[in-house]
Amino acid sequence: MVARFQGRNPRAEQWLLTQSSTLITRITNDTRDGVRFVLQEGMRLGRGPRSVALDIVGRMDRAAGRRVGGLVGLTPGDVASSQRALGQLTSGDPAEMAKYLRRKLRDKRFDATVARAIREGKPVPADRARKIVGRYQDRLLYRRGETIARTELLQSLHHAQDEGLRQLVDDGKLNAGQITREWDASEDSDTRDSHRHMDGQSVGLNEPFTSGNGALMMHPGDSSLGAGPEEIINCRCIVRPKIDFIAGLKPGD
């Protein structure tokens, strides 16, 4: 999916500045505020999730051989994964080293080095193994940044759409009974089964959608009613609002 944000959306920008970064845990308030500012600026300037992700996790410094300038680091799970990768490379066991070659985020430029160690039945030299794992960590870190940026930016747009409908009701231009909202799931192999189950589900303005797992959400990415990360991270679904302009009219109107 290619996502680009064009133009300004003040409601989404304000939401990002005050409510985003819900996916980031175990960090200081200053870091959280910094990420929120980066997300808000990305929205304001019309930048896409991939570009904003690099602001969050840093860009590669070729001279230093690592990412610099980022705001967040690896998750505990990613740290554990990189340590297991290092253990595989330095084990000297061909079966263990072969497991490294099945890691999707590995830097394939080092595959020949690992393959040679497997053939010889020798461990990858420690300094070389650390460099290989360092590149693997860079990719894990980038994936985290992209997940944060994509999820938070899209969530802000959904929230802004919902808020816009409510303001139409508050201003008296519509009444809530005229508005229904339909969940539109992305129909491909990456779509969650629980969201595929929701495709076509229709609810009123003030009613939540119910996922196939029973989670309640006012819109894609919404966690205000208790939906967990398994329901919101990288969600690509959208809501299609429908307005019945005939409802409520009196005879002769």
Q: What is the pLDDT of residues 137-167, one digit of tens each?
A: 999 999 988 888 888 888 888 888 888 888 8
Going along the chain, which residue ranges are E strands? 59-61, 66-68, 179-184, 202-204, 209-210, 216-217, 238-243
pTM above 0.75, yes or no: no
Q: What is the pLDDT of residues 8-19, one digit of tens each?
A: 556 555 655 555
Residue 206 identity (one-letter amino acid) = N
Phi and psi angles of residue 242, each rounded to the nearest 5 degrees, phi first: -130, 135
Euclidean distance between CA atoms 158 and 156, whole angstroms: 5
**pLDDT (mean) for 185-201:** 91
Reading the block at residue 1, the tokens are 């999916």
* Cα angle 11, 240, 180; round to 5: 95
Q: What is the pLDDT of residues 32-69, one digit of tens each?
A: 677 777 777 777 777 777 788 888 878 877 776 777 77
| 21-to-24, 25, 138, 147 alpha-carbon distances in Å | 6, 9, 21, 11
The rounded Cα 49 to chain-centroid distance in angstroms is 9
Burial class (CB in 10 A: 0-12, 13-18, 19+), 2: exposed
User: Is 27 a residue whose pLDDT tops 90?
Assistant: no
- Per-residue confidence band for 3, with pLDDT thresholds at 50, 70 and 90: very low
* Domain limits, the chain: 1-173, 174-253
Largest CA distance in the chain: 89
Euclidean distance between CA atoms 80 and 93, whole angstroms: 20
Is residue 72 within 8 Å of 145, Cβ to Cβ?
yes
| pLDDT at residue 168, rounded to an integer | 86
| pLDDT at residue 99, rounded to an integer | 97
The whole-chain average pLDDT of the chain stands at 83
